[in-house]
Structure 1
Amino acid sequence: MSDLSLKFSQTDNLEILLDEIMEDLSSKGKKILITIDEVDDSKPIQEFAQIFAALKRKNYSIFCLMTGLPELVLNIQNNKKLTFLLRSEKIVMTPLNNTAMVQTYQKVFDCPIEIAIKMAHLTAGYSYAFQLLGYLAFEQSPSLNADSIGSVRKIYEFSLFDNAYQKIFEGLSELDKQYLIAIQGNKKLKEVCKIMGKDKVFVSQYRRRAIERKLIKPARYGIVEYTLPLFSEYIDAIQDTDSIFYLGY
C-alpha cells in the first residue's frame, strides 16, 4: 500500500489529510494546480472552496482554475461564505470566431461550405454548442447535407435545452426568469415594463443582471437579444404545456 493510500485509511478528516499532503509536497518544492470544469454553487464546490481557502491561508503553493457558465460562476462568487472568490482573477471568454468554426466544421466533415455556415450559425459562438453540434453530427450522420442537418438539429436542440439551459434557468431568481421571458420578440424596455408590471428603474436592474450573466446583449436602442443559440426556442418550450420543458410560466 502506498503512503498516500495509507493516509486515506488512517483518517476521516479530509482537511487534515490535505494539509499533510500539501506540507509534504511543499517541502519538496512542488506546486499544485486544481482544475474544475462546469463549476456551480453546489454543496461539493462550496466545501472545496472553503478547504482551498484554508490551505491558501497557510501559504501553500496551491492554485485553482475553475471554468463555467458566467451566471453559475457569478452565483458561487456571490455566496456569502465564499466572498474570497470575488478577489480571484476572472477571464471572460468571448464567443468563438465564426470563420474559424465554419472552417473547422468544413474540414472535419468534408461538407459543402453552406452546410458548415449553417452549423456555425446554430451555435452562435457558444463553445459548448459548437462541441455538442459537432459531436451529434458525427454520431448521427456520416455524410452531412441539408436533410441530415435538419434531423441533427432536433437532437441538438433537445440536448442543448436538457444539458445546459435547464441548469441555467434553475439557478435564476423568479424575477430574472420573468425578465428573460418578457424580452422575447425584441420588445422595447417600455413593453417589458408593462409585461412585468414594474417601472424602468426596477426592470433595468434585471437587464443589467442578465447582461452580466452573458445571457443577453444590447442589440439596438432599448432592445436586447439573447446571446445563447436557440434560447428563444427554449423560452417557447418552457411556456408550452405540450413540451417536456414546460415550467408553468
Structure 2
Amino acid sequence: MKGQNPYTIAFGIKPNQYISRPEVVDEIVSTFNSEIPPYMACILTGIRGCGKTVALSSISKEMKDNPKWIIVNVNPERDILQTITSTLYENPILKPLFSKADINISIAVAGVTIHQENVPVDMAVTVGKMLSVIKAAGKRILIMLDEVVNNEFVRPFVSQFQIYIREEYPIYLLMTGLYDNISDLQNEKTLTFLYRMPKIVLEPLGLYLISQDYKKVFNLSEEEAVKMAKLTKGYSFAFQALGYMRWKYEGESWDKVLNEYDNQLDRNVYAKLWSELSERDRKFLIIMSDGIEDVSQIREKLNIKSNQMAVYRRRLIDKGLIKENGHGKVRYCLPRFAEIIKKWQMFE
C-alpha cells in the first residue's frame, strides 16, 4: 500500500490507527476531578504491550486541558522527588507564587538559580512547602509514573506520597506497571498500603472494533476483517503488529504476513515474557500448547499436588498469560502463543 503505514510496532507511541479506551480514561479523569475523590492514586496494569503507556498519555492529554491541573512526568530511574521539585519550580504559573512564599530549592537541581540563603536540602520537605502554595492557589498536581519498578527512587517517593495524602495536599498519582513489578513493590514492608490502591487491569480491545478498523483501512469484507481481528485476540500490540505487516506486505501471500506477524510477537514481547517465567510456569504453558486446557490433566502431566497447581495457575492468570475458560479449564490470553511455543520447542 502507498503512503505511511498507519500502524506501529514501536512501544509507547500513539499510532494513527488507534482504538481508545474511553472507559478507563473517563473513570480516572472524572475521579481525579471530583470535589472529594474516592481515591487519589491509581495503578494501570496489564501484560507487556497491552497499551498502558498509550492510555497514560491519553489521560495526561485530557487532564492538561483543565487549567487547575499541573502534570509532572517522572522517570522511575531518576530521583523522583528532585524531578518533581525542579519541574514545579520552573513552571511559569507556579514560580512567582513560590518566590512570593520565599520557597527556593537545592543547588543540586541543575539549571536553577538560588537567590537566597537557608536553602532547604530535603526535597521531601521542599515539595511539601510547594504543595502548600499549590493548594492555596486552588490547583492540583498529577504525578505520572510509567513502568514502575522497585528501586531506590520509587520506594522513597511512594512512601512520601502517602504522607502528602495524609497532610491533605492536592497531589495525585497515576502509575503503570507489570504485575511482577507492582507485586514486588507492594511487598515492601513500608509500602503494603499499595495493596489498597485501586488497580485497573487493561482488558483486551473489542474484536468488533478491531475488525471495523481493519475493514476500513484495508477495504476488506466483513468476513476477512473478522478473521484478522480474531488473530489478535484483542491484544493491543497484536492489533498494531498484524495491521503493520498486512500494510507492509501488501500483495504478498498471507503466509508471509502471518510469519512476519509471529516474528514480531516473538521478538518484541513473547521472548521477554518467556525469559521471566519459572521452569514450572513454562512447562505449564508448553503442556497447554498441545491443546490441553483441562486443569486436572495439566496437573497430572506436571506431577504436582492440587494446592501447588492452584498457585501456578493463579500466577499465570495474574501475569495475563492465561484465563479461565469454563469450569476447570484455562486458555491462552495471547494470540499465536501456542504456535510460537511449538516453534521454540523445535530448537530445544
1:29-178 equivalences in 2 (<5 Å): 29-37=138-146, 39-43=147-151, 45-46=154-155, 48-70=157-179, 72-138=181-247, 140-141=248-249, 144=250, 147=253, 149-178=254-283
- Are the aligned partners of 2:289 and 2:342 in contact in 1 as well (CA < 8 Å)? no
CA distance in 2, matches of 1:186, 1:166: 21
Paired-residue identity, %: 33
Cα shift at 1:31: 0.8
Distance 1:48 1:232, change over 3 A: farther
Q: For residues 137-176 of structure 1, what are the alpha-carbon distances to aligned partners after superposition, in whole Å with 9 as ceiling and x for unaligned?
A: 44x24xx4672x5433333323323333344334444433
Tell me: CA distance 1:133–1:75, structure 2 relative to 1, closer, same or farther (3 Å): farther
Q: Displacement, 1:126?
A: 1.4
Q: Distance in 1 between matches of 2:127 and 2:163?
A: 10
Residue equivalent to 1:182? 287
Tell me the SS of whatever aligns to 1:128. Answer: helix
Instruction: Quote the Cα distance in structure 1 between the aligned partners of 2:122 and 2:312.
Output: 42
What is the CA distance between 1:220 and its match in structure 2? 4.4
Root-mean-square deviation (Å): 3.4
CA distance, structure 2, for counterparts of residue 59 and residue 182 of structure 1:
52
Q: Cα distance, 1:87 vs. partner?
A: 0.7
Q: Is the 8 A contact 1:40 1:75 kept in 2?
A: no
What SS class does the counterpart of residue 229 from structure 1 fall into? coil
TM-score by length of 2: 0.56
CA contact (8 A) 1:15 1:51 kept: yes
Question: Contact 1:211–1:217 at 8 Å: present in 2 too?
Answer: yes
> CA 1:176–1:24 in 2, change beyond 3 Å: closer, same or farther?
farther
Task: Tell which deviates more after alignment, 39-48 or 118-127.
Answer: 39-48
User: CA separation of 1:45/1:229 partners in 2, compared to 1, >3 Å: closer, same or farther?
Assistant: farther
Residues 226/45 of structure 1: CA separation in 2 closer, same or farther (3 Å cut):
farther
The letter of the residue matching 2:295 is: L
CA distance 1:210–1:78, shift in 2 (3 Å): farther
What do residues 69-108 of structure 1 show as CA deviations (whole Å, max 9, x unaligned)? Answer: 5555445444555322111112233322211110011113
For residues 285 and 161 of structure 2, what CA distance do their matches in structure 1 show?
35
TM-score normalised by structure 1 residue count:
0.75
- What is the deviation of 1:21? 3.7
More helix by share: 1
Letter matched to residue 225 of structure 2: A
Higher relative contact order (CA 8 A, sep 6+): 2
The answer on whether the counterparts of 2:321 and 2:334 sit within 8 Å (CA) in structure 1 is yes
Tell me which structure has the larger Cα radius of gyration.
2
Give 3-state SS (helix, strand or coil) of 2:205's partner. coil
Residues 238 and 36 from structure 1, CA distance in 2 versus in 1: closer, same or farther, beyond 3 angstroms?
farther
Alpha-carbon separation, structure 1, partners of 2:246 and 2:188:
39
Work out the CA distance in 1 between the residues paired with 2:88 and 2:150. Answer: 31
Contact persistence 1:97–1:125 (CA under 8 A): yes
Q: State the match for 1:245 in structure 2.
A: none
> How far apart are residue 233 of structure 1 and its match?
2.9
**What 5-or-longer segments of structure 1 have no aligned partner?**
242-247
Q: Secondary structure at the match of 1:35?
A: strand
**Whole-angstrom distance in 2 between the partners of 1:75 and 1:237:** 32
Question: Structure 1's 199 and 117: CA in aligned 2 closer, same or farther, altered over 3 A?
Answer: same
Q: State whether structure 2 residue 299 is matched by structure 1 residue 214.
A: no
1:203 deviates by: 1.1
Q: Displacement of 1:17 after TM fit? A: 4.8
Question: Secondary structure at the residue paired with 2:291?
Answer: coil
Conserved 8 A contact 2:148-2:177? yes
Corresponding residue SS for 1:85 = helix
- The alignment covers a number of residue pairs equal to 237
- Cα gap change, 1:203 to 1:102, in 2 (>3 Å): same
Any unmatched runs of 5+ in structure 2? 1-86, 91-103, 110-120
